[in-house]
Amino acid sequence: MSDPGTAGPPLFIVLNQGSGSDDAAQVRQQIGDVLVRAGREHRFLQAARGSDVPVMAREAVAAAQASRGIVVAAGGDGTINTVVNAVLGTGCTMGVLPQGTFNYFGRAQGIPQDTVQATECLLTGTPQPVQVGLVNDRAFVVNASLGLYPQLLQDREAYKQRYGRSRWVAAWAAVLSLLHAHRPLRLELSNGQQVRSIRTPTLFVGNNGLQLSQIGIAEAPAVEQGDLVAITLRPVGTLAMAWLMLRGAFGQLGEANDVFSFAFDSMQVRPAAPFGRRRMKVAADGEVFRMRAPLQFRVAPQPLMLIKPLAAIAPASADPVNSP
């Protein structure tokens, strides 16, 4: 624990060394300098690898509960997702210091992308409720998906580990992924009243109005009204899929004839018979898991209490390589 003070509740900072391109030691120094100057009690829980983040997150939650402190995630959207899953339902307040490649969650909440400014917001901001999505019992704050999109994410991570973390590497990995054949999913979607059968390369569920609006989905405002937004595609060839990705980069995905989108608050998804109970590959905020069907997508009954700036900061420009 560093420099106890009376400036506010203690901060327990889960720092993922693998997120983003900045040196973790420099990031920690920047955060610590701001908090020491403010006399704010804080403790770093540093994860050497992404696989260490869940353990650090649970430790941070336990410490925050014992001292009425705040759990802070310093990392990309995947790190934030892991910490959210540890925090949600515990009564703890959470803060975010964006360190990833895209930082959709932080940007949508008006949190600065600069580490020093984001740390200062932890000191001056206030807890505000933020909607969380659930796929089965797994929380997500940006998006969750199955089919082609989780495969794109896995390929992107493999290329980042080999060539470094940058948006150009992510874009190139997406292009190479599309060159491989992908079998369409056969799914049954149910809202409790109607069942719809579809055949699609991917099902994408968004919980981030910024991302949805940037790729041109008309239902993006529904996130602010308490819903999630689903996007499905008709099965198309490689060139057509690449064209759809390009349209998403220019904010025109929702205008394409092969794209369908709709808002909902709860939806069950299962593979079409006879595979209704098999495990499916699901991505949540960039992290890929295996989950047993059926999958239940819904809005979490309780919001996440997040430290947000007093005045909203305008979000940055679109990111073409993180669109579905």
Q: How far is CA 262 from CA 196, 237, 271, in A?
A: 13, 23, 20
Instruction: Count the neighbouring beta carbons within 10 Å of the beta carbon of residue 67.
Output: 14
pLDDT for res 253 = 86
> Where exactly does CATH 2.60.200.40 map onto the chain?
138-299
Residues 73 and 80 sit within 8 Å (Cβ to Cβ): yes
d(CA 64, CA 253) in angstroms, rounded, equals 42
Distances in Å between the alpha carbon of 6 and those of 62, 86, 120, 225?
21, 26, 16, 38
Domain with CATH 3.40.50.10330 in the chain: 11-124
Crossing angle for the helix pair 167-178 and 238-249, nearest 10 degrees? 150
Task: Give the integer Cα–Cα distance in Å for 222 and 210.
Answer: 11
d(CA 186, CA 202): 10
Convert the pLDDT of each residue in 290-310 to its tens digit: 999 999 999 999 999 999 998
User: What's residue 246's pLDDT?
Assistant: 72
For position 294, what pLDDT does the model report? 94
Compute the distance between CA of residue 273 and CA of residue 137 in angstroms, rounded to an integer.
Answer: 24
* Tokens matching residue 197: 């059968």
Are 116 and 30 a contacting pair, CB within 8 Å?
yes
Cα 257 versus chain centre, distance:
27
Sign of the alpha-carbon torsion through 300, 301, 306, 311: positive
How far apart CA 287 and CA 50 sit, in angstroms, is: 10
| Residue-level pLDDT at 314 | 41
Tell me which residue of 64, 2, 57 sits closest to 35, measured CA to CA.
2
- 138-299 belongs to which CATH class? mainly beta
Per-residue pLDDT of the chain (324 residues; tens, 9 = 90+): 444 445 799 999 999 886 655 588 899 999 999 999 999 999 999 998 888 999 999 999 999 999 999 999 999 898 999 999 999 999 999 999 999 878 999 999 999 999 999 999 999 999 999 999 999 999 999 999 998 877 677 655 654 555 555 555 555 455 555 555 567 899 999 988 889 999 999 999 999 999 999 999 999 999 999 999 999 998 877 677 766 777 777 788 888 889 999 999 999 999 986 555 578 999 999 888 999 999 999 999 999 999 999 864 444 444 433 444
CA distance 9 to 67: 8
pLDDT for res 205: 97
**How much is the pTM?**
0.84
C-alpha to C-alpha distances, 267 to 51, 188, 189, 230, nearest whole angstrom: 30, 10, 7, 10
Between strands 295-299 and 304-308, the pairing is unpaired
Cα–Cα distance measured from residue 131 to residue 229, given in angstroms and rounded to the nearest whole number: 13
pLDDT digits (tens, 9 = 90+) for 174-218: 555 555 556 789 999 998 888 999 999 999 999 999 999 999 999
What pLDDT score does 324 carry?
A: 45
Regarding the domain with residue range 11-124, which homologous superfamily does it belong to in the CATH classification? Probable inorganic polyphosphate/atp-NAD kinase; domain 1 (3.40.50.10330)
Token pair 């905020």 is found at 285
